[in-house]
């Protein structure tokens, strides 16, 4: 094998696998998933991005090279989660619509609004398998937590002749005036450990 055609010897321990799940809540300390917290079934995997926006304070200074590190300032982060759902409920339709309510007299009716309420923002977790140990109890995971997420992709439905309908979604995490320095995004990467045999 050529000198630079190699991979790390422990690469098999550091690979994220499978499509993952989108959850209403998740505790990285226990890593327990409740079936009722799974928001939807998806197709084509899930995407999470956290993209910083910078200002170069040296950009207009004569003789100053662009992207001088001492003059680079972070403005904000744009954090998004997106994918395509193949299951739909009234709760998820309301969530995708973003600024909407479920009718109190008719739980099948989702009514859109013209104003944003603080209750429209919700936490979302994208959690997927990680490492070579992926047992039911102690499997590794990559977990991405979007705080104060709001559907900014709106409600989208695509039907298919003799096939499954698809619902494309996009959520954006938001800062809060209550904690203005807190970036609304956290990442957890935890390797799995060996499953312990049950004792009689």
Name which residue leads in pLDDT, 197 or 51. Answer: 51
- pLDDT of 198 over the 80 cut: no
Instruction: Check: pTM over 0.85? Answer yes or no.
Output: yes
Q: What is the pLDDT of residue 200?
A: 42
Q: What is the pLDDT of residue 199?
A: 43
Residue 199 falls within a domain, yes or no? no
Q: What is the pLDDT of residue 149?
A: 98
Q: What is the pLDDT of residue 197?
A: 67
Q: What is the pLDDT of residue 137?
A: 82
118-139 mean pLDDT: 92
The 10s digit of each residue's pLDDT in 47-90 is 999 999 999 999 999 999 999 999 999 999 999 999 999 999 99
Residue 78 falls within a domain, yes or no? yes
- pLDDT of 196 over the 90 cut: no
Domain membership of residue 70 as a residue range = 11-190
Residue 34, CA distances (Å) to 22, 95, 152, 187 in order: 12, 19, 26, 20
What percent of the chain lies above the pLDDT cut of 90?
A: 86
Name which residue leads in pLDDT, 131 or 124. Answer: 124
Residue 126 falls within a domain, yes or no? yes
pLDDT confidence tier of residue 194, bands split at 50, 70 and 90: confident
Q: What is the pLDDT of residue 76?
A: 94
Q: What is the pLDDT of residue 57?
A: 96
Residue 2 falls within a domain, yes or no? no
Q: What is the dihedral of CA 32, 33, 36, 42, to 10 degrees?
A: 170
The 10s digit of each residue's pLDDT in 143-174 is 999 999 999 999 999 999 999 999 999 999 99
Residue 53 falls within a domain, yes or no? yes
Residue 52 falls within a domain, yes or no? yes
- pLDDT of 175 over the 60 cut: yes
Residue 122 falls within a domain, yes or no? yes
Mean pLDDT, the chain, rounded, equals 94
Burial class of residue 22 (count of CB atoms within 10 Å of its CB; 0-12, 13-18, 19+): buried
- Close Cβ partners of 138 (under 8 Å, ≥ 6 residues apart): 192, 193, 194, 195, 196
23-38 mean pLDDT: 95
Residue 195 falls within a domain, yes or no? no
Q: What is the number of domains present in the chain?
A: 1
Give the residue carrying structure tokens 């989702």: 110
């Amino acid at each position: 094998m050529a000198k630079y055609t190699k991979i790390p010897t422990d690469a098999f321990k550091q690979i994220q696998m499978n499509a993952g799940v989108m959850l209403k809540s998740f505790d990285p300390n226990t890593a327990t998933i409740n079936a009722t917290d799974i928001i939807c079934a998806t197709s084509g995997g899930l995407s999470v991005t956290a993209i910083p926006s910078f200002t170069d304070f040296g950009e207009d200074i004569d003789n100053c090279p662009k992207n001088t590190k001492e003059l680079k300032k972070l403005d904000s982060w744009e954090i998004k989660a997106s994918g395509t759902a193949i299951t739909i409920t009234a709760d998820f339709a309301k969530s995708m619509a973003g600024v909407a309510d479920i009718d109190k007299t008719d739980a099948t009716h989702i009514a859109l609004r013209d104003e944003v309420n603080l209750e429209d923002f919700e936490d979302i977790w994208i959690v997927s398998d990680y490492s070579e140990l992926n047992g039911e109890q102690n499997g590794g995971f990559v977990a991405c937590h979007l705080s104060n997420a709001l559907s900014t992709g709106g409600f989208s439905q695509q039907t298919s002749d003799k096939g499954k309908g698809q619902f494309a979604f996009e959520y954006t995490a938001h800062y809060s005036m209550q904690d203005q320095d807190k970036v609304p995004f956290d990442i957890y990467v935890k390797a799995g450990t060996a499953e312990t045999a049950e004792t009689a």
